[in-house]
Amino acid sequence: MKSDIDYRNKLVLAPMVRVGTLPMRLLALEYGADLVYTEEIIDWKLLRAERHTNEVLGTIDYIDTTDGTVVFRTCPDEREKVVLQIGTASAERAVAVGQMMQNDVAAIDVNMGCPKDFSIKGGMGVALLYDLPRAKAILEGLVQGVRIPVTCKIRVMPDLDETVALAKELQSTGIRAIGVHGRTKTERPRDPVNEDAIARVANALHIPVIANGGSQSITRRHDILRFAQRCSTTSVMVARAAEWNCSVFRADGPLPLDDVIRRYLELSVRYDNSPSNTKYCVQMMLRSLQESPIGRRLLDSQTMQQICDIWEMGEYCRETQLRYHFAGIKGRRACRPRTQSGDGGPVAEGNEPTASKKQCLEESPDSDPEPLNEENVCFIRSNFIDDNSLPKSKLYLHAVRNGLPRAQYEVQQKDKLFRATIRFDGQRYTSSFWEKNKRYAEQAAALVCLLKRGVESRDELIRNGAMLPAKNGPAAAVVEQTGSSKTDAAGESETNGEARPMVESC
């Protein structure tokens, strides 16, 4: 039996890249949204992901097997209200995604409105509006192949009659609703939204139309409802206005921004969201305040601990991350490279990069005569005030002062991860933490070397988040006895500024 959603009279969190992750979706629901869309996720990213039940967080995680990143994370609180938006140019892949995900989401939406070059060149997004047979094949395949509702989101076209005709064709596939962004593919947020065009589409269809694009006129819930009236719809998708202050959905009016940020951070810590994604979302909330003292502190932050300290939530962050650590959560620190299973060949239509030759998880036997010293240490750039204080610089000075040869660095790359090994004074040093770029891998290995040689303090590395405390160490005892700790365990850092690496295991 197919499940059902009534798309009429709905206030919706629109799909937004890097914003529509679990903490923001839960925040929107808490403040009064009826449905929440994920950010657009490309079909092949989901197809190469593995589904995991995360018992520590109480979530379902889809993990990219090549680098341990969380492609999609959800929880029971949003199960009946979360809509997965996919980017696709293939009916076959779209149906495969739908069948894989239909037990974990309430509905599936196909992105037919993204105007970015990446989407268009891959035949996705707004390109589908100009390839109607393919667009209809994707929707028909999903409607027939999954048990949950299927929708799509489009942009208006320069010719309004053509827009209405297109929407009617898409409606004929059996979709349950259609989102309409009131700008063309060449128009941007600064351009006025065409409310009359949305109204023309809404009056021409018998399925619900969800109006989108009115954030310039929206600061509170009442404005959302007025936008719906002007567009002759009963439902509205809110993007940037919700990105700026998610409490825009509240019936009692929006909350002060600091209150919204603190609640967002609480959810981000609770669901182990990546620091880089959390930082990005808070930056979008601050907008012009990014140039303020608080904004500059946020810009300099790199770990969840550092972000939370700005809003006086450091203790909550420390306690929660230590509790998860001792409960056995597998984060980025536990990630080891592996490639996509299968034949490793290229995927049709150029949407997925060709996989490299298969690599296995097991390390090759270590036959090197020099001893290997290994610690789980990550490099956090914001811990170092200038280039002279960087681990590689400190190790170089250590060698000069002691009359030793300079360290030799060897970097290993697997999939999208890097790990360095240092040869120094007859021994080798490496971190078991795989970094996201070559430079950081070398710095992390240098930190291990400095630690082993007594130049760096283990307690200091734990304090600033580069290491996590041992489960049977002093920090564990403090948590067990008092439920809190003064030790900073925020070292699950993202190292290249991407949106979502950092959480569950490979």
φ, ψ at 176 (rounded to 5°): -90, -20
Which residues of the chain fall short of a pLDDT of 50?
339-363, 475-506
Q: Which of 407, 475, 401 is nearest to 447 (CA)?
A: 407
483 located within any domain: no
Q: Same structural domain for residues 239 and 295?
A: no
Same domain? For 277 and 236 the reply is: no
DSSP helix/strand/coil, 98: helix
Residues 85 and 120 in one domain: yes
The answer on 321 and 237 residing in a single domain is: no
Residue whose pair of structure tokens reads 């620091």 in the numeric block: 275
Residues 272 and 218 in one domain: no
Q: Is 114 assigned a catalytic role?
A: yes
Residue 360 lies in a domain: no
> Same structural domain for residues 326 and 275?
yes
Q: How many C-beta atoms surround the C-beta of residue 483 within 10 A?
A: 10
Assess whether 264 and 251 both reside in one domain. Answer: no
In 3D space, the residue among 257, 272, 329 whose CA is nearest the CA of residue 305 turns out to be 272
CATH number of the domain encompassing residue 233: 3.20.20.70
Q: How far is CA 300 from CA 177, 240, 245, 496, in A?
A: 43, 24, 22, 14
Q: Where are the alpha helices (DSSP H) in 34-90?
A: 43-47
344-381 residues labelled b (16+ CB within 10 A) or e (exposed): eeebeeebbeebeeeeeeeeeeeeeeeeebebebbbbe
Q: What is the token pair recorded at 390?
A: 């960087």
Q: Give the tokens for residue 295.
A: 């904004």
Residues 6 or more apart whose CB falls under 8 angstroms from that of 246 comprise: 13, 24, 27, 28, 31, 260, 264
Cα–Cα distance between 73 and 80 in angstroms, integer? 14
What's the confidence (pLDDT) of residue 473? Answer: 58
Domain match, 77 and 109 both: yes
How many other C-beta atoms lie within 10 A of the C-beta of residue 205?
17
User: Does one domain contain both 24 and 167?
Assistant: yes
Quick one: 76 and 100 in the same domain?
yes
Answer whether residue 31 is part of any domain. Answer: yes
Residue 1 lies in a domain: no
- The single-letter code of the amino acid at 220 is R
In whole angstroms, what is the distance from residue 148 CA to residue 99 CA?
A: 9
Assess whether 165 and 135 both reside in one domain: yes
In a domain, 493, yes or no: no
The predicted pLDDT at position 471 comes to 67
- pLDDT value of residue 250: 98
- Among candidate residues 255, 280, 297, the one where a domain is terminated: 255
Whether residue 263 is contained in a domain is answered as yes
Q: CB of 15 within 8 A of CB of 152?
A: no
- Which residue, 222, 255, 288, sits at the end of a domain? 255
The pLDDT, as a whole number, for residue 504 is 25
pLDDT in tens, 166-208: 999 999 999 999 999 999 999 999 999 999 999 999 999 999 9
The set of residues, in sequence order, having a beta carbon less than 8 Å from that of 499 and lying 6+ positions away, is: 17, 18, 21, 274, 276, 277, 280
Q: Which residues pair with 52 in a beta bridge?
A: 61
The two three-digit tokens of residue 195, written as one number: 């409310």
- Tell me: do 140 and 247 sit in the same domain: yes
Residue 437 is part of a domain; what is its CATH number? 3.30.160.20
pTM: 0.81
Domain span at 465: 370-472
CB–CB of 265/313 below 8 Å? yes
Indicate the residue among 255, 282, 317 that finishes a domain.
255
3-class SS at 185?
Answer: coil
pLDDT score of 231: 98
287 CB-contact burial (10 Å; exposed 0-12 / middle 13-18 / buried 19+): middle
In a domain, 365, yes or no: no
- CA-to-CA separations, 318 to 270, 279, 384, in angstroms, rounded: 11, 17, 21
Does 51 reside within a domain?
A: yes
Distance from C-alpha of 321 to C-alpha of 327, rounded to nearest angstrom: 10
CA distance to 277, 286, 308, 360, per residue, from 496 (Å) = 11, 22, 20, 24
Query: What is the tally of structural domains in the chain?
Result: 3
- Dist CA 473 CA 129 (whole Å): 59
